[in-house]
Amino acid sequence: MLIHELARQTGLTPATIRYYEHEGLLDKTHSYRAQNNYRHYTEAAVERLLLIKQGQAAGFTLAEMRELIDTWYTDALTLDDKRAIVLHKIAELERRIAELEAMRATLLAKLPLMGQVGAVT
């Protein structure tokens, strides 16, 4: 598929996809160039971009997502090391979930006080 179609399927823009490629988040397994120099994408590109998008929504930077994906493909780590890295990322997510829940609790706690003098700092 062409970049326009990939953009449609992922909810990104063609410019963002080119930017991600430039940042090393996509590689030759996701696209090839046709004779006219147009990028053609595989289904793997859709899944990779959706994974990156989900990571972004979860607060990971592009660099973090690239590192995470890279651990999958490196030969410099054992399978157990790779699993440990992913488990570490999961723990990070759980810490963040706890932070959001703390903020939620803070807002809930302030809710009944709203409007009172000095209730909100």
Partner DNA sequence: GTAAACTATGAAGTGTACTTGAAGGTCAAG
Partner DNA sequence: CTTGACCTTCAAGTACACTTCATAGTTTAC
Listed in order, strand segments (DSSP E) in 1-121 are: 31-33, 39-41
Residue 6 CA from chain centroid, whole number: 17
Look at phi and psi of residue 115 and say left if phi exceeds 0, alpha if psi is from -120 to 50, else beta: left
- How far is the C-alpha of 4 from the C-alpha of 16, rounded, in Å? 11
Residue 14's binding partner out of DNA, its own copies, none, with CB under 5 to 8 Å set by partner kind: DNA
Residues 37-96 binding its own copies (CB under 8 A) are 44, 47-48, 51, 54-55, 57-60, 69, 72-73, 79, 82-83, 86-87, 89-90, 93-94, 96
Residue 13's binding partner out of its own copies, DNA, none, with CB under 5 to 8 Å set by partner kind: DNA
**Contact indicator for 6, 52 with CB cutoff of 8 Å:** no
- Residue holding tokens 């963002």? 16
Which of the stretches 60-68, 77-85, 92-100, 106-114 binds DNA when contact is defined by CB under 7 A?
60-68
Residues that bind its own copies (CB under 8 A): 44, 47-48, 51, 54-55, 57-60, 69, 72-73, 79, 82-83, 86-87, 89-90, 93-94, 96-97, 99-104, 106-108, 110-111, 114-115, 119-121
